[in-house]
Structure 1
């Protein structure tokens, strides 16, 4: 898949924000879209995370792993992003939502059996008005 400069910039923005989500905090697809000044693009944020392995390959072209601009896929805390209702989105891999729930629990975030995170709890939600892009 060949990315346009516009889609490349959007995906890079998504990952830049996700890398900034602190340990023990969660945010939503919609809030990431809001921070990118693209409030109608929350589904595209989800797509960026779903296809991050392939997109990282494109974004990393021309960079070496020790270069500061090289994106490390295994360092992307994708599990810290949930739906606006706090629900963990289902994955193609039937175990993906269970993996996400477990990773959140390991960070001290309470996740119900129905894979909901209480976004109302101030100690869990991460909803800044702006971020460094």
Structure 2
């Protein structure tokens, strides 16, 4: 995230706050660190992201691939997760945070990060 912020002349703090969200073209989403866990499995993801999540993990935010390399609803690698500003284990993060970071990734890279499901 800091690379994106530097390249776009934003305040470099590694947090997806209002300024960074606006630069990413996201709606007025709260920073990942302040997102509340979703309740009842509801999701704030777009229909496109929901389709990707269903393909990747059956929509399970706690899913872990059999080799342990891909984690969470969107099967993030730890490298991608951290590059987006995520911390800790993606599979342990609130679903709303996973949705937000997947939205960022989709905005940055299209569906190419999900070659089998995008």
> Relative contact order: is structure 1 or structure 2 higher (C-alpha 8 Å, sep ≥ 6)?
1
- TM-score calculated relative to the size of structure 2: 0.26
* Rg larger for: 1
- TM-score calculated relative to the size of structure 1: 0.24
